[in-house]
Amino acid sequence: MLLSTLVLILCIVGFALIHSLLASLPVKRFVRRSLGSKADSLYMPVYNLIAVITLIPLGYALYKYPGEFLYVIPSPWRWFMIAGQVIGLIVGPGALRDAPHRFKLRAQLSAPNTPEAGHLNIHGIYRWIRDPFLLSGLVIMWLTPFMTTNLLIIYILTTVYLIMGSLHWESRLVAQFGDEYRDYQKHVHRIIPRFKPYYEK
């Protein structure tokens, strides 16, 4: 039991370290200097591919060492939870569609108020919430209609990592958009959606 838990923790820590390193601005600057404009189109696909590959050992370890069941939610309640997870799965791609300029490498490395950094341009789901990825990730995890001991440990560690990643993501957005993003932070919560949509002034 203890050994399987340690294996899972090592897997999630290894993923977090690799993912965080690749998401850091120094690494992105190095890649941009090395590859030039090619990095703009290659970085995100390669970044996502590496994320998937580094998650495979964690998935396998969790499959092999699930731990003891803590609970299983019966029907019909489990279907409400699964419906919530499906909504969470829809939110992620929607957030990418609503703000593609936030994920362009060249823009991320640019200073505020420059043509490369671009305009914040709040629309879509970002009118209600600042970090839809954090919310969708938490919803997908914690609405799982069953729970085991090792799954609970992974979910707790992943929740901490997602929150820390959200803080890092926001600091990067401040670096890209400056006061424009700081003003947006004052009006829209990071994880609790607004009742009324936000509109830029």
pLDDT in tens, 108-132: 888 888 888 888 889 899 999 999 9
Q: Cα(108)–Cα(106) distance, rounded to whole angstroms? A: 5
* Sequence ranges of the domains in the chain: 2-187
The alpha-helical segments, DSSP class H, found in 143-198 are 149-177, 179-187
pLDDT in tens, 138-185: 999 999 999 999 999 999 999 999 999 999 999 989 988 999 999 999
Counting residues of the chain whose pLDDT is more than 90, the rounded percentage is: 50
Could you report the per-residue pLDDT of 24-81, keeping only the tens digit for each?
Answer: 888 999 999 999 888 888 898 999 899 999 999 888 888 888 889 999 999 999 999 9
Token pair belonging to 111: 């200073």
Q: What pLDDT shows up at residue 36?
A: 87
Query: Quick one: pLDDT at residue 199?
Result: 79
Give kind and range of the element (H or E) at residue 46.
helix 38-64
CA distances from 143 to 43, 73, 93, 149, 159 (A): 32, 10, 19, 16, 13
Predicted confidence at residue 67, as pLDDT, reads: 87
What pLDDT score does 1 carry? 63
Of the candidates 167, 170, 168, 27, which has an alpha carbon nearest to the alpha carbon of residue 105? 27
Top pLDDT among 141 and 101 is at 141
Helices in 65-125 by DSSP H: which ranges?
77-98, 105-108
**Is the model's pLDDT at 86 over the cut of 90?**
yes
- 71 Cβ contact partners less than 8 Å away, ≥ 6 residues apart: 146, 147
**Confidence category of residue 93, pLDDT binned at 50, 70, 90:** confident
